[in-house]
Amino acid sequence: PAGTPRRRRRRKSVAIAYEPGQGDGAEPRGARWEPPHWREQLQRIREMRRSRDAPVDEMGVQKCYDSSAPPQVMRYQVLLSLMLSSQTKDQVTSAAMLRLRRRGLTVDTVLQMDDETLGQIIYPVGFWRNKVKYIKQTTAILKQKYGGDIPSTVEELVQLPGVGPKMAHLAMDIAWDSVSGIAVDTHVHRISNRLQWVKKETRYPEETRVALEEWLPRDLWREINWLLVGFGQQTCLPVNPRCSQCLNQDICPAAKRL
């Protein structure tokens, strides 16, 4: 092919990883694609997140359940907080969970609650009317099919009404202490694209998850959600990111464009 000599001439350049045909099993063994500066970028993000003072740290799902509750109740509360957290700020989710827990938050108490009461308690979480419906449907399924517990596989979790892949992977991690995949929310999706941690731009979080899992070492999968969510809440904001305060400004492909 016409491009071969050129490609051979610049074989030392990382750009070769982006050439057509690469990544489709066409790479030589041991030449798996990875982003050029990712280790350095990750280390600097860890440094920026060292104080653990983002909303996700203080009010994230891992802080929303009653850690003194029986394991089954605790797992149910984790799942419920994940369902509430979709398209909702951590502060709002945390407050809604506190109100629910004051009522004694279990499968049975939620099943006994009428829709109007549940709606009043969880308001103003995003899409609260839909969430009332999903919570009631999912809770009924948990009671009938899982003896009041939550399923322990991603495949079963995503079958529940109102539960998506990100929630399922986080539920596996927080409720079952099992790393099943990378939980990709809007922050992880945005930052992975800005840092070019994906080989080509991805449009949806689920695409980003698949792309990240292809190269990111598995022992980092659990950490990456927590790390990037907080970084996205404080520094790499959706609009007007604080590039001037970011330790990665010299090695971030998006820093100059934004």
What is residue 148's three-state secondary structure? coil
Q: Residue 204 CB: number of other CB atoms within 10 A?
A: 10
Question: In angstroms, rounded to a whole number, what is the distance separating the alpha carbons of residues 139 and 145?
Answer: 10
What's the Cα-to-Cα distance from 106 to each of 59, 97, 179, 239, rounded to whole Å? Answer: 20, 12, 25, 38
The residues that are catalytic are: 166
**CB distance 176 to 152 below 8 Å:** yes
Residue bearing tokens 């000599």: 5
The full DSSP string for 127-191 is THHHHHHHHHHHHHHHHHHSTTS--SSHHHHTTSTT--HHHHHHHHHHTT----S----HHHHHH
36: exposed, middle or buried (C-beta count within 10 Å: 0-12, 13-18, 19+)? middle
